[in-house]
Amino acid sequence: SAVMLILKGMFSNVSAAVDHATHHDYNDLTMLTHKYRNLADIEYRLKHYTKFMSYREPLGRDVSDYRQIRLHSTFFRTSMCKKIAAYNRKISTKKSQNTGKTIVDTWKNISFPQFINYVTRFHGNKGKYTILNNHWRPTNLICRPCHIDYDYHIDLEANTVTDDSSFLLKALAAPQWLKMPKANTSGNETKYSFLSQLSASQYRSLLSLYDTDYEIFNYQRPNQNG
């Protein structure tokens, strides 16, 4: 999304675009299914526009999302963080030993398991997966690779991602200074340190949420403890 914001002319440097994309959840991008578009308009764009998508390993993506929330205090002040806290208050009566308040009353105390509680709250109801926040919605429900014939696919986990993204940006006639931002990969050790905090039930729900992504993008489903 950061690259799209730059190509749209909204930003002239990658870091500012990445920061904006992290905090504003694609609100400044006009989607293919925009309410003012008719079917003929959509079909024209699918036929004549250059189409590309990028993807990454699903659970590593969740860990990165959570870490971004923790690192960016402004993002904690959004309604999303309030929703995460409210959902955990709803499903848990556990109290903080120190304050007597629920452990998610303060945003900075949202734990990774509590974050995953919210991400997987529609477990078993795939019909509602499409309303999940774009930061953790399954990629196949955002990009629809089974329905759209993309010209380019970028695997952000691949060793060739730098060359692949450079080739794509050249094909798009992007500014020469523009480079595809590297995926905010946490490394396996960090990823598994977070995943090991989950209960077996939470981990199964998380894998179930991204089951189709694992099938489509041919990623190996990780063991919880590495």
**CA distance between the termini of the chain:** 30
pLDDT reported for residue 93: 58
Confidence of residue 220 (pLDDT cuts 50, 70, 90): very high
Contacts with 188 (C-beta within 8 Å, 6 or more apart), sequence order: 226
pLDDT in tens, 135-151: 899 999 999 999 999 99
Q: What is the pTM of this model?
A: 0.79
Q: Which residue has the tokens 């903080």?
A: 96
> In the 8-state DSSP scheme, what is residue 220?
P
pLDDT in tens, 110-135: 889 999 999 999 988 888 998 898 88
Mean pLDDT (the chain, rounded) = 81
- Per DSSP (E only), the strands in 148-222 are 152-155
Separation CA 62–CA 129 (nearest Å) = 15
pLDDT in tens, 159-174: 888 889 889 989 988 8
Reduced DSSP (H G I as helix, E B as strand, rest coil) percent helix, strand, coil of the chain, to 5? 50, 5, 45
pLDDT reported for residue 23: 52
Q: Tell me which residue of 188, 222, 194, 193 sits closest to 119, measured CA to CA.
A: 194
Rounded to 5 degrees, what are φ and ψ at 55?
-155, 165
pLDDT in tens, 57-70: 999 999 988 887 77
Query: Per-residue pLDDT averaged across 76-94, rounded?
Result: 76
In total, the chain counts a number of residues equal to: 226
Q: Greater confidence, 116 or 91? A: 116
